[in-house]
Amino acid sequence: MRWRFRLISDSAVAWAGHRVIPVALIGFIALWTAVGLTFSFPRQWFLLTNMVGTLVTFLILLLVQHSQNRDMKALHAKLDELIRSSEAGNHWIAAETKDADAIEDMRQQHQDQISEKRA
């Protein structure tokens, strides 16, 4: 089930990000407006437009967030492996799981070490 969701999510994000989509949306909006003018824009027309627009926006937002979260996890795993295989201190591994004060302390300690090496 997980791999199906990932496949669907990846496909939807790739589809939504395709360069043809803005042109297709402009054409759809023009068609939607022409049909609305033909029927004198009944109240239900506006309700349907708002509902569909909100739902599509929310769905795309969730799919993009899912994709970004997965990409970020992969990026962190790669960075952790680079840290592990380099001369950098292993205390930097999984720094994203620490609170803001601890990260700031680590950053300050790193800046102090750089300053000492330059002096």
Q: Is the pLDDT of residue 92 over 80?
A: no
Same domain, 97 and 42: no
Do residue 72 and residue 97 come from a single domain?
Answer: no
Residues 72 and 23 occupy one common structural domain: yes
In terms of Cβ atoms closer than 10 Å to its own Cβ (0-12, 13-18, 19+), residue 110 is: middle
Neighbour count for residue 50 (Cβ, 10 Å): 10
E strands, 19-84, in order: none
φ/ψ (deg, to 5) at 19: -70, -15
Is the same domain home to 23 and 50?
Answer: yes
Report if pTM > 0.75: no
A 10 A CB-CB count for 63 gives 19
Q: Domain check: are 52 and 31 in the same one?
A: yes
Task: Look up the domain containing 105 and give its range.
Answer: 93-119
Q: Quick: pLDDT tens for 41-86.
A: 777 877 888 898 899 888 888 888 888 888 888 888 888 888 888 7
Residue 9: partners with Cβ closer than 8 Å, 6 or more residues away: 63, 66, 67
Name the residue among 52, 70, 97 with its Cα closest to residue 7: 70
Domain count, the chain: 2
Same domain, 76 and 111: no
